[in-house]
Amino acid sequence: MADKHTGPWAVSQKNAAEQVAPAPKFSFKLRLTISMLFLCLILPCFKVFIFYVYNMNYEIYKRHAAELITTHNDQTSAKLLALLNPIGDSLLILAKQIRDDPRLFESASFHDTMLLHLENNPRLVSIFVASEKGDFHQVQAMRESMIIANRVPPAEAKYNTWVVDRSSAAGSSGKSSKAPSSELPRASTAGHESPIAPKGGGRANSVFTFYKDRHTVLDSYVVNNNYDARERTFYKALSANVGTPANIERDRFLNIGDPFISSSTSRPTMNVSAPVFIGKTFVGMVGESFELSAISNFLKSIQISKNCETYILDTEGNIVVSTGANNGYKLEKAALIKQSVLEAAGRPAAHAVQLRKSSNQQQFEFLDSATSEVYLAQFTPFPNNLNKNWEVLTVAPISDFLGGLYEINKKLMIYGGLAALLLVVLTYFLSRAISRPIEMLTDDIRDLLEFNRSKEVVRSNIWEINILSITVNKLRNTLRAFTTYVPHDLVNDLLRSGNDIEVGGESRYMTIMFTDLKDFSTIAEVTPSRTLLKCVSAHLALVALAVKEETGTVDKFIGDSVMAFWGAPLLDQNHAYHACVTAVKAQRRMVGLNRQLVADGLPLLTVRIGIHSDAVLVGNVGSSERMSYTVMGDGVNVAARLEGINKEFATKICISHATFKEAGERLWTRPIDVITVKGRKGEIPIYELVAIRGGDTETMATYEEQDLCALTHQAFNLYAKHEYGQAADLYEKLIQAHGDGLSKIMKNRCLKNLISL
């Protein structure tokens, strides 16, 4: 937008400050002011009553919250066991199958059974079996972004198997295929650490196979990583725990390993494993891996309040899993580090553990000094079904449980203040009768300044407000009439500045357009006045609408002609392009107007348009009594001359080379000739505008118009090189193909030039 302090119609900072009254430091709506004054008188009456009732109900709700947390902890333990038991049941079934048929340890046919268990429990990541002989079989569900043995798996893979056959390796020690060091897996798949060579025995290969379904193998490769499950932490932990006779005799013995970051999924993962006995001899294990988020998400799903925090702690106060970030673990160098609940300095859970140590209570409340929030804490031992002496800690702010209390107090306020509310309603309607019309008039005046339509006529029984409404309506009608004579943007700028209109202008590079009707004098002689006025008005309205759509300004109507410009009062970087689009729209829409005129028995109208871009003077011209916002200068004369040149060359839209330079790459044009404009030195190229490149269907070029432009360019290039014979032939081709009037004129010029040579 043009700088408001440089144009002749703008007001200076100093003058604007003098004319506009300073805004008050604080302002309030009238209706709100009247209502709030009355409320301030009656609200203190309820304060003491509500305070007493609130404290009494607070104690009731606090006891209820403590009971709810106790029940929640019991249910957390029971439901978490219900979540883990299916995993344990699956392991025990697999262990029994192997116990019944030990050959399954070394058989790939067991993969189908493992896959079935994996599919029946979607929480599982993988299922694996490992034997005392060192054999290892795993079936793993595929996840996004997995890296297995330093390779990216096939995109269509649904699951994969990992087989380590140490029995075969032992029988062919030294003969296994050697994979290069680059083939060594960065880490094993989910549930297992990086491979470490065993203390003895032959080297064994890991065979990874990827499946699209049970019968379709996508890829398979061998990695010589000498993986031995017997050296892994999960295997050692299980074999150490089941060595006692008591555990050997147990029908249900499960072991939960410590969480770790899976190298293939990069997510926190945990193993659950069960031993396999033949008789009383430990011969191996079965295990299942699941992501730790399965437990943390489960804990989050059963939270009893919005800000409740639930932790499962071991005997040392370390977090096993929680609803917090990273499931309660620290993440260092792609490894999960156990975090003591006391390390969460300032957190309510750490406060609760410290208070439990000092008071030896299982349930209590405390104040968090950091947030001044009162919390309830409950410690509950976890059932020892999984060989873990865990306990459940739940910490929740008491404010989470006071929603019902707030609702009760709200009702007390409503019922207790019913009488006052009736008075407030009465006050509201009385204030509304005064303030509503004033507010509507305020909006009405704001809409008036923004040139928006009035929503409704403001009516009031108050005499002063009614007079004000009538005055605003008269002002709106006057302003609407004013904008039909003066550009809309100029009026808007004047209203915002508050300054008087002054004579003056500024130089600005703009685009000017002139239109005129062909043979209008002849049409006027044979057409009745009323009919002529109807035809001309329809034409002028059509052109004016096209100018408005392309953000232009109609300067004036001169009889049947229209003068318009782009680039003022608002700056327009694409003023030449918008002027050309307007011209094409006007020409295309004249076709529809002429169809209507012919149907009404009226004469056809043909419009000719001239467009030129130049630096001109724009501003208010005239006297203090009467002035006009217009453009002046040589560029205006050139635009008017170009409109008349259409008659000489049988064209419709003539644009100058200056306009072509501004927007030519976005236009379909064809060269006309190089002419001399009266009053100007030198010659200027001129072009006929045919259509818009990349425009909408209304302004785009037809194939015929594109062909016309291409052939005209070829013919004119020959004409410019003084190859008049070839140029005449091309112009003749245009005449035969398109019946083009410009080509007839240019052909004659070529022939005359040939004669003069």
SS3 annotation, 196-227: CCCCCCCCCCEEEEEEEECCEEEEEEEECCCC
Identify the pLDDT of residue 189. 42
- Residue 569: cis peptide before it, omega within 30 degrees of 0: yes
CA distance 161 to 266: 19
Q: What angle do CA 24, 25, 29 make, to 5 degrees?
A: 65
Identify the pLDDT of residue 179. 35
What b-and-e string marks burial along 358-378, b requiring 16 or more CB atoms within 10 Å of the CB?
eeeeebeebebeeeeeebbbb
Q: Give 318's DSSP letter.
A: B
CA distance 134 to 173: 14
CA distance 322 to 329: 9
Say whether domain 505-694 belongs to CATH 3.30.70.1230: yes
Identify the pLDDT of residue 320. 82
Contacts 24+ apart (CB under 8 A), 66-71: 66/363, 66/365, 66/376, 66/378, 68/304, 68/401, 69/304, 69/363, 69/376, 69/378, 69/394, 69/396, 70/363, 70/378, 70/380
- 3-state secondary structure (DSSP) of residue 129: strand
- In this structure, the number of other CB atoms found within 10 A of the CB of residue 262 comes to 26
CA distance 646 to 120: 83
294-404 shares its CATH topology with 505-694: no
Domain ranges of the chain: 84-285, 294-404, 505-694, 702-757
- With beta carbons less than 8 A apart as the criterion, state whether 68 and 304 touch: yes
Q: What angle do CA 623, 626, 627 make, to 5 degrees?
A: 75
- With beta carbons less than 8 A apart as the criterion, state whether 130 and 154 touch: no
Per-residue pLDDT tens digits for 38-53: 777 766 776 777 777 7
- With beta carbons less than 8 A apart as the criterion, state whether 539 and 667 touch: no
- With beta carbons less than 8 A apart as the criterion, state whether 164 and 205 touch: yes
- 3-state secondary structure (DSSP) of residue 563: strand
Backbone angles phi, psi at 103, to 5 degrees: -65, -15
* Radius of gyration from C-alpha coordinates of the chain: 45
Identify the pLDDT of residue 542. 93
The second-level CATH assignment, the architecture, of 294-404 is 2-Layer Sandwich (3.30)
CA distance 14 to 358: 73
Per-residue pLDDT tens digits for 349-371: 888 888 888 888 888 888 887 78
Going through 355-436 in order, the beta strands assigned E by DSSP cover 363-368, 373-381, 391-397
CA distance 606 to 587: 8
- With beta carbons less than 8 A apart as the criterion, state whether 114 and 139 touch: yes
> Tokens standing for 352?
């609760």
Identify the pLDDT of residue 586. 94
Which DSSP string do the residues of 274-299 spell out, in sequence order? EEEEETTEEEEEEEEEEETHHHHHHH
Identify the pLDDT of residue 17. 37
Measured in Å, how far apart are the chain's first and last C-alpha atoms?
A: 55
| Count of residues making up the chain | 757
- 3-state secondary structure (DSSP) of residue 616: strand
SS3 content of the chain, % helix, strand, coil (to 5): 45, 25, 30
What are the residue ranges in the chain where pLDDT is below 70? Answer: 1-31, 34, 42-43, 46, 168-202, 243-251, 325-326, 334, 344-346, 384-387, 419, 441, 444, 446-465, 476-503, 624-625, 679, 757
Count Cβ atoms within 10 A of the Cβ of residue 340 and give its class: 0-12 exposed, 13-18 middle, 19 or more buried: middle
